Copies of this chain bind each other. A is one copy, B any other.
C-alpha cells in the first residue's frame, strides 16, 4: 500500500507535470443553462488534457448547483476520468466527527475520489475520518488564494499567523503520509515559508491563471521537497474559443513551463 503523498510525488516526477485541472464549469462562463452542454464541455476538457494532467479536481459547488442531476453528472465525470489520474474532491468539508465519517464515505467510497479538500476550523476530530486509509489524501485549507483570506488566516496567534498554526498542526496529523495543504499561489511569501516549515506535506496550489498567482515559483518552491500540484480551473476550462484545441494548447503551455522547472531542478541537483 503506497501512501497518498508518496504516490503523488512519484507520478509528478515521472510525468514532469504537476498540473491539476479544476473542473469548475459555471453557467456564467459557459453561456448556457442546459446541463447537457456542461457534460459535453467537461468531457472535452478531460479529453483535451488527459495526457498532460496529473490530477482532476471537480469542485462540488459547480455540480451541486444542479441538485441531484448535478451529482449524477459528478458520478459520470469520475467514471469518465478513470483511475489513471488523481481525482480530488474539492468539497472543503468540515463537520463534527460522526458527520465527517459520512462525508468520508461519500467522497472515497461512494464517488471513489483519491483525495479531498477539508476546512480546519472545527479541529482534529473533523479531519481524522478522512485520514484512515493511507491511500486517500486530504488537503487542508491553510492559506487560501482569495482576497478575504487575510480576515482570519493572517491573524496572529501568539505571534504566529493562524495559517502557520494550521500547517504545523496538519503536519502532526500526517502519520499515514496522506496529509496535504491548500496554499494559494497568490500568497508567494506564505507558500515559500510553509514549504520550508512542512517539507513532507503535499501542496495543492490554486490561484495561478485567472487569479494571477506566479507559476514558476509555485512549481519550484512547491516541489522542492514534498509534492505540489498546481491547479488551474477557469484558465484552462474556458481557454480561447472553448475548443478542444485551444484548451489543449493552453494546458500544454502550462505543462511546458512546468517541464522546464523540473529539468532546471534536476540539473541543479
Contact = CB atoms under 8 A, between A and B. Distances in A.
A62 interface: yes
Given A64-B103, A106-B61, A155 B153 contact: no
A121 interface: yes
Protomer copies: 2
A150 interface: yes
A12 to B, nearest CB: 25
Nearest to A103: B61
Contacts of A106: 61, 64-65, 67
A92 interface: yes
Interface stretch (A1-9, A47-55, A138-146): A138-146
A94 interface: yes
Interface stretch (A68-76, A222-230, A250-258): A68-76
A171 to B, nearest CB: 14
Interface residues of A, number: 58
A197 interface: no
A152 B148 contact: no
A145 B152 CA distance: 20
Interface string A93-136: 11111111011011000110000000111111110000000000
Interface stretch (A162-170, A187-195, A238-246, A259-267): A162-170
Interface of A: 24, 26, 59, 61-62, 64-72, 74-75, 92-100, 102-103, 105-106, 110-111, 119-126, 141, 144-153, 155-158, 162, 165-166, 169
